[in-house]
Chain A
Amino acid sequence: MVSPSTRTLTVALAGNPNVGKSTVFNTLTGLNQHVGNWAGKTVERTEGTVRRSGLTIRLVDLPGTYSLTALSPEELIAREYILDARPDVVVHVVDASNLERNLYLTLQLAELTDHLVLALNMRDLAERRGIRIDLAALEAELGVPVVPMIAERREGHEALVSAIEAIASDRRPVDPLRVKASPGVVEVVEAIADLLPAEAGAPRTRAWWARKLLEQDVAALARARREPAWAPALRRADQERQTRGLEDLEAEGVGAAYALLTEIMNRVVERGPSRSLDWTDRLDRLVTGRWTGIPFLGLIFGGMFWATFMLARPLTDRLNGLLETLGGWLTRGLPPGPLTDFLLEGPWAGFSTVAGFFPTILIFFTLFAILEDSGYLARAAFVMDRVMGAMGLHGRSFLPLLMGFGCNVPAIMATRTIENQGDRLLTILVNPLMLCQARLVLFVFLAGTFFPGSRGALVLLSLYGLSAGLVIAVSMLFKRLLFQGEPSSFILELPPYHRPIPRNVLTHAWRSARGFLQRAGTQITLMTAVLFVFTHWPGPGIERSLAGQVGQLLAPLGSTMGLDWRLMVSLFGGFLAKEGALASLAVIYGVGEDGLSAALQQAVGGWSAFVYMVVSLVYVPCFSTIVAIHRETLSWRWTLLASVYGLGLAWGLGAGLWQLGRVLGWA
């Protein structure tokens, strides 16, 4: 017997942030998920499969957006996907407890597709807040099926799947409500739409583009300038806008949409007394309170920092032990010789470095997801925005910067929650200046060697101060030089507090860790191979390698900072991982790490050692950080800038400090 043919539908999931969209997605698809990036964008793309008898749904999770204006990459992705990929059905997940603003996006989606269904989520929350929604009335008003859901408790999913199938097979007629523009505007829009080429889409799509041209939507204008066939429409739009006084079509359109929504709300929503006497508000009095907000933030982030880097340490140690054992087996299993050395100290060492990040990233993103899901991260951004704003950054930049004190890799990955691209890039660019734990290992050793007792603590403290000071100075400088004219604004929803859902938290953490490992694994393993050759060939020893020769060529540069060629060469060793500089120094001085202190004390002066620490702090991000920067910017130009600006800065600081030391008689 031939098995019944299976129908495949493509369904897009749209919705505002904080409405439980990912809960709906995770519950529907289970572990059938595929994570990647939207082509050429740093926005995560998640796809999953839902299987029912005779039906396969390819579910595409669109980025969470408040609207489909072309203001952010997320919004552009969402609307371009619906316009270009033409999914069979678009599911709009809305928060029932915050219906009015959520439905604004419904109206925008209705402009792009007929096949729309509303997933009315969080009904329990709405009921607790005394909001009663007349489902039949809402369906009638909107002209689309409304499926009530409580995604957290897995209620309503089957009804949603049925609704999707019914719409796709045209068994359920849908006629979405659309905002009516004034007759004058309609006439103009139609005239422009008629000038657009047929390839621009169906009549409704053309009308949508025409309206966007009139609104001077950035993406619409870009497309019209790119495609010659759009020129007449573009000219007409410009003309009409000027002659008819349509300068503020946006305000008119948005105003009309919200006026319509207010009417609908009056007809379908009944407000009773709220039974959950707003504990969000009570909690916020503490969490964002005048005297309590900052101490509370210190407590939460301090705890998070401690948990990430202290809890991860035993795990990392155990993992490293395991990798060493494995390495030992490899050493014994492989015939001794240069090739084995290369494999073990090159690619294998690189792989071990990357694997060593795994516990830290997993724990950090678990905690990060808990804070994000609960609604606290938005509060933290609110509390810290004043300080961050003064530096040209965003309130959301605070956590990634703070985490840079632990490790720059997860810190840079955490910038994904910063919506504005300029703010996000800036936060990424300055992050490597944060004194991470790997550098701390190096500095603790050197401070102990050269500055015994309390002077050592003072040295470490001054390095932390320098690190923070440089972040402030460099971000202010880059803001002026690179992001001038970028409007800086802070408009952030503070959603009600919400108990994090374990499944979402773990999925999020696992994705982040796996994503880094997949990408970094290959890149870093390759790079360590190159770096191994650079620091060992022709050899023996790093001082007789290519790196040693380059380092010796750099000796004149080093002497401007009071650093001899050995110290310069060791900087290459710190490139793979910052603490690697120690191992390089031990090799160069021909001593074990135990004898390194004594050897260094003989060869290097105290002030030189301090300058060396400052240079090590600033000169380049470690290789894993560079990989993370590229992964998060998807741009070689930004990656290059982030990787090399430190060189100039390190030299300037090093030379300045060295000369200062000479003047003061410390050198």
Chain B
Amino acid sequence: MAAKLSDLAPGQRARIIGISGNGPTRRRMMDLGMVAGTAISAIRTAPLADPVEFEVRGYNLAIRRRDAATVAIELL
């Protein structure tokens, strides 16, 4: 089973394989540049452990763990 974006610890880097599901959340993430092959790294988690801040394509994006769990990744 592939790793999930929600498993990525701060400081780690990964490549996106794909986003499961079908809803608007998936489309939103893709529109923001999270398409297959994109490099993404986890920066930090919020004080209460959720959401998580990521860096993708040179800018920073906060995503809830539950949404991040739909993103399949491979560690770099």
Q: Does B11 contact A (CB under 8 A)?
A: no
User: Contact between B47 and A494 (Cβ–Cβ < 8 Å)?
Assistant: no
User: Contact between B27 and A490 (Cβ–Cβ < 8 Å)?
Assistant: no
User: Contact between B61 and A100 (Cβ–Cβ < 8 Å)?
Assistant: no
Q: Does B75 contact A (CB under 8 A)?
A: no
User: Contact between A258 and B38 (Cβ–Cβ < 8 Å)?
Assistant: yes
Distance in angstroms from B48 CB to nearest chain A CB is: 4
Chain B 21-63 per-residue mask, 1 if CB under 8 angstroms from chain A, else 0: 0011101111111011110000111111111010001111111
List of A residues within 8 angstroms of B57 by Cβ: 100-101
Could you tell me the distance between the alpha carbons of A395 and B63 in the complex, rounded to whole angstroms? 11
List of B residues within 8 angstroms of A67 by Cβ: 31
Q: With A385-B50, A386-B50 in contact, do A104 and B31 touch (Cβ < 8 Å)?
A: yes
Residue of B nearest to A269 (CB): B58
User: Contact between A255 and B46 (Cβ–Cβ < 8 Å)?
Assistant: no
User: Contact between B61 and A494 (Cβ–Cβ < 8 Å)?
Assistant: yes
Q: Sort chain A's interface into a size bin.
A: 35 or more
Most chain A C-beta atoms within 10 Å of own C-beta, residue among B24, B25, B47: B47
Could you tell me the distance between the alpha carbons of A66 and B31 in the complex, rounded to whole angstroms? 7
Most chain A C-beta atoms within 10 Å of own C-beta, residue among B46, B49, B61: B46
Could you tell me the distance between the alpha carbons of A385 and B33 in the complex, rounded to whole angstroms? 23
**Residue in B48, B59, B67 whose CB lies within 8 Å of A101:** B59
List of B residues within 8 angstroms of A482 by Cβ: none
- Stretch from A42-50, A282-290, A597-605 contacting the other chain: A282-290
User: Contact between B46 and A383 (Cβ–Cβ < 8 Å)?
Assistant: yes
Contacts of A7-42 to chain B: CB distance below 8 A = none
Could you tell me the distance between the alpha carbons of A104 and B31 in the complex, rounded to whole angstroms? 8
Q: Does A634 contact B (CB under 8 A)?
A: no
Q: With A289-B47, A491-B25 in contact, do A258 and B59 touch (Cβ < 8 Å)?
A: no
Q: Does A635 contact B (CB under 8 A)?
A: no
User: Contact between B44 and A386 (Cβ–Cβ < 8 Å)?
Assistant: no
List of A residues within 8 angstroms of B66 by Cβ: 489
Could you tell me the distance between the alpha carbons of A104 and B62 in the complex, rounded to whole angstroms? 19
Q: With A98-B59, A386-B50, A493-B60 in contact, do A254 and B35 touch (Cβ < 8 Å)?
A: yes
User: Contact between B61 and A492 (Cβ–Cβ < 8 Å)?
Assistant: yes
User: Contact between A489 and B28 (Cβ–Cβ < 8 Å)?
Assistant: yes
Could you tell me the distance between the alpha carbons of A101 and B59 in the complex, rounded to whole angstroms? 9
User: Contact between B35 and A487 (Cβ–Cβ < 8 Å)?
Assistant: no
7 A-B contacts, Cβ less than 8 Å apart? A98-B58, A101-B32, A284-B53, A285-B44, A385-B64, A487-B23, A491-B67
Query: Could you tell me which B residues sit within 8 Å of A by CB distance?
Result: 18-19, 23-25, 27-33, 35-38, 43-51, 53, 57-64, 66-67
Q: A71-B27, A71-B31, A491-B29 are in contact. List 12 more A-B contacts (CB 8 A).
A: A66-B31, A100-B33, A104-B31, A250-B27, A251-B35, A284-B53, A293-B46, A294-B48, A382-B51, A386-B46, A492-B62, A494-B61
Query: Could you tell me which A residues sit within 8 Å of B by CB distance?
Result: 66-67, 69, 71, 98, 100-101, 104, 250-251, 254-255, 258-259, 281, 284-285, 288-294, 378, 381-383, 385-387, 389, 395, 487, 489-495
